[in-house]
Amino acid sequence: MEKNNRSIRIECPKLLITRNESDLQWLIGSPFFPPLTIISTFRCIHSNSSGPDFPKESEEIRTLLLKGFDVIGALIVGKSDPEKTAARAVEAARTLKKLLTGTTKLENEETIGAVADPDTGDIRFFLSETESSTSFELVNPVSYGDNPEKFVWESGCLLLCQLPIKLPLCYPVNKPSDAESIFSRAIEAVIAKFKDPNVVYLVEASNRGSLDVVQPVILRGSELDFDAAVANIELLDEAAHNSEKKLLQCAHFCLKSKSTLQLFSAENADIIQISVLLNRSEKSPKCSAPAVEYFAAMDETRLLIVDFKLEVLCYAVQGILLMHAISKLIIPGLIDQLISMKKMNLPYLLTQHPELHPYHFCPPGIAHPVTVIYELNYGETEMKQVDARRSLHLRLGLPFDRPLLRIANSLDLSIKSHSSNRSTRKGSSLLKDVHIGIPGSGVSGGSISLVQGSYEYYHYLQDGFDDSGWGCAYRSLQTIVSWFRLQHYSSVDVPSHREIQQSLVDIGDKDPAFIGSREWIGAIELSFVLDKLLGVSCKVINVRSGSELPEKCRELALHFETQGTPIMIGGGVLAYTLLGVDYNEATGECAFLMLDPHYTGSDDVKKIVNGGWCGWKKSVDSKGKSFFLQDKFYNLLLPQRPNRV
């Protein structure tokens, strides 16, 4: 049966459709969004012959998915009867949601069952209105949003709670097996404390770059509402003002006005900091001195201390009341994370405890953050960590050749002002991403392919070093190395001219006299240095003259779309860094986005862009002139992205 008065709204760039029949994906939504809105999908990666391994799936998704988002359905790839397949998807989604919420029955919750054709990729969406429903109604129409980040963050914010816990345990030496049950009871006692009437929640604004001063607010456990379900919470108008503490909204701690140039993203979202404090002295019936109770141990005991570093991130809309945000998002998030860490600690309780730390990521293609708990006893390149990241890449549909979930790529939740054109690397004051916001290329109907990720702009006379007239290829190489650093493929420092020369001597390409000289280097030397210092391989394209460069536009566009690294382009004694191409395949018209290392001025973005040191260069301009010399042989060095997660 078709249901025409409802519609599915998809606010994620892509659904992870594969050609594998029976492939299952969890559909993610939020109680804060309109019903039947899909914001992302997580692939089911634990299954057996009978279907999904629900305990494993729920355990991982409970950690990964921020409070404020929910599983609202499932999608199955298959060619069998669509309604029966949709029924399987709905049943799977409800089973998972019961495990995630700890309930045995879902009351009046609509659930989506989607069926995708493995050959065409066409998706049909069915709706089951309640758990007792036996019919599944086909839902039309399906609409796709064109700006998921704006949809999520225009009225959304993040709640952050960092809570270190040192948990002391005493267990009998002659009964070490009792340690596990003692540990479990201690965890249960901590969980109970989160809802204690004497617990105090301190709420503070963490607006980065804001001049507004918002006073902190204290909410006590006795003032919280633990009964209302998130879906039943009434959201207030964000513009409404109420001075009563219990009626304060999250909007009270968010920026009242934002720059129109500010991007909607998790990185730019308002963050509300929530601290947990235990107030033992409130309303004490009488004044008394501190008392110590002594309990004699019946057997020889050993003291064990387990460290937890909880860091819970939640999503909320600004219209939700603070008391609901704490009771329905923060506290359940703390409980879930504590239980997850307890399970990870249990096998090693009497040995070396794993050093666990939560990190939050917002990888490309997913409009909301996810949380991952990493075991820091292992280095990031050790196989246990690599395998863990591979599993996450598979679940989230991320490419396996990009280190998107390494710790260095986690969200920076510290309080600091935004500075869009300065490098984020500690100790560096270099400009980065200077091409952002430059004027268009002027190519009519062209398709633009650009460098992916951030880079630093290296040019003549930087660092007090005079390389004017000979160091342009060195500077282009430094820009390329900075790209690999900022994408966290490497922690190697950007090499100096002397270190570049030393590398070429070390591999036998140059004589020792080369060190300290002012000799030029070209594409081949750059490829040697990238291989030695970073383990990066390169592709070299040779072009006989500048007039032939437009013929390589399709190949260059493919490089930026698949590899995304900056390109060094050299001709004669000149070298540049190529950041993108704008190419009209039908007309052959093209332009090249050039970053010029020959610049000798101060690091002023406006001066650099207005002076043409970073901008589009057409193969042939309106006066018939070309930026590239027609009688020069050109080499293009295309660094390849390493296959690393």
Averaged over 224-241, what is the pLDDT? 67
Q: 534: number of CA atoms within 13 Å, CB side?
A: 32
Q: Which of 409, 438, 463 is the last residue of a domain?
A: 409
pLDDT at residue 118 in the model? 86
Q: Which two tokens stand for residue 389?
A: 């990241």
Per-residue DSSP letter, 364: T
Query: Is 627 in the same domain as 499?
Result: yes
292 is a domain residue: no
pLDDT at residue 631 in the model? 65
Residue 430 near residue 423 (C-beta atoms within 8 A): yes
Q: Which two tokens stand for residue 290?
A: 């501190």
Q: Which of 111, 146, 181 is the last residue of a domain?
A: 146
293 is a domain residue: no
pLDDT digits (tens, 9 = 90+) for 28-58: 999 999 999 999 999 999 998 889 999 999 9
Categorize the per-residue pLDDT at 290 as very low, low, confident or very high, splitting at 50, 70 and 90: confident
How many independent structural domains does the chain possess? 3
Query: Is 548 in the same domain as 626?
Result: yes
Which CATH number is 589's domain given?
3.90.70.130
Q: What count of other Cβ atoms lies within 10 Å of the Cβ of residue 314?
A: 26
Query: Is 344 in the same domain as 455?
Result: no
Query: Is 270 in the same domain as 166?
Result: yes
Query: Is 58 in the same domain as 171?
Result: no
The DSSP element (H or E) to which 168 belongs, if any, is strand 156-172
Residue 393 near residue 404 (C-beta atoms within 8 A): yes
pLDDT at residue 425 in the model? 38
pLDDT digits (tens, 9 = 90+) for 215-232: 899 999 888 887 767 666
Task: Measure the CA angle with vertex 206, ends 202 and 208; round to 5°.
Answer: 170
Give the CA radius of gyration of the chain. 29
pLDDT digits (tens, 9 = 90+) for 338-393: 999 999 999 999 998 999 999 999 998 899 999 999 999 988 878 899 999 999 99
Task: Measure the CA angle with vertex 417, ends 157 and 269; round to 5°.
Answer: 15
Residue type, 468: S
Residue 306 has pLDDT above 90, yes or no: yes
Query: Is 63 in the same domain as 193?
Result: no
What backbone phi and psi angles, to 5 degrees, belong to 519? -80, 145
110 is a domain residue: yes
pLDDT at residue 204 in the model? 93
Which CATH number is 29's domain given?
3.40.140
Query: Is 305 in the same domain as 195?
Result: yes
Residue 523 near residue 637 (C-beta atoms within 8 A): yes
Query: Is 77 in the same domain as 161?
Result: no
Per the model's pLDDT, the better-predicted residue between 106 and 237 turns out to be: 106
Q: How far does the chain reach from its first CA to its final CA, in angstroms?
A: 45
99 is a domain residue: yes
Query: Is 469 in the same domain as 604?
Result: yes
Q: Which two tokens stand for residue 157?
A: 């914010």
Residue 293 has pLDDT above 90, yes or no: no
Residue 241 has pLDDT above 90, yes or no: no
SS3 state at 350 = coil
Q: Which of 146, 173, 203 is the last residue of a domain?
A: 146
d(CA 360, CA 409): 9
Give the list of residues 6+ apart from residue 540 with CB closer than 8 angstroms, or none: 523, 524, 527, 635, 636, 637, 638
pLDDT digits (tens, 9 = 90+) for 180-202: 999 999 999 999 999 998 899 99
The model's pTM is 0.79
Give the list of residues 6+ apart from residue 91 with CB closer than 8 angstroms, or none: none
Give the list of residues 6+ apart from residue 245 with CB closer than 8 angstroms, or none: 217, 218, 219, 223
Q: What count of other Cβ atoms lies within 10 Å of the Cβ of residue 59?
A: 17
d(CA 16, CA 544): 43
The range of the structural domain enclosing residue 83 comes to 8-146
Q: Which two tokens stand for residue 293?
A: 């109770």
pLDDT at residue 416 in the model? 44
Query: Is 524 in the same domain as 631?
Result: yes
pLDDT at residue 580 in the model? 97
Query: Is 184 in the same domain as 125?
Result: no
Categorize the per-residue pLDDT at 5 as very low, low, confident or very high, splitting at 50, 70 and 90: low
**In this structure, what is the dihedral angle of CA atoms 457, 461, 463, 467, given to the nearest 10 degrees?**
100
Which residues are annotated as catalytic? 472, 596, 598
The DSSP element (H or E) to which 214 belongs, if any, is none
Closest by CA to 230, choosing from 103, 326, 340, is 326
Residue type, 226: F
Query: Is 25 in the same domain as 125?
Result: yes
What 3 state SS string does 463-489 have? Answer: HHCCCCCCCHHHHHHHHHHHHHHHCCC
pLDDT digits (tens, 9 = 90+) for 577-622: 999 999 999 998 999 999 999 999 999 999 999 999 999 998 766 6
381 is a domain residue: yes
Mean pLDDT of the chain, nearest integer: 88
pLDDT digits (tens, 9 = 90+) for 78-98: 888 999 999 999 999 999 999
The DSSP element (H or E) to which 498 belongs, if any, is helix 497-506
Categorize the per-residue pLDDT at 424 as very low, low, confident or very high, splitting at 50, 70 and 90: very low
290 is a domain residue: no
Q: Which two tokens stand for residue 160?
A: 């952050």
439 is a domain residue: no
Give the list of residues 6+ apart from residue 123 with CB closer than 8 angstroms, or none: 15, 17, 75, 114, 115, 116, 117, 142
d(CA 603, CA 606): 9
SS3 state at 354 = coil
The DSSP element (H or E) to which 265 belongs, if any, is none
SS3 state at 390 = helix
Residue located via tokens 């052959």: 588
Residue 596 near residue 614 (C-beta atoms within 8 A): yes
27 is a domain residue: yes
Burial pattern 534-569, b for ≥16 Cβ within 10 A else e, equals: bebebeebebeebeebbebbeebbebbeebbbbbbb
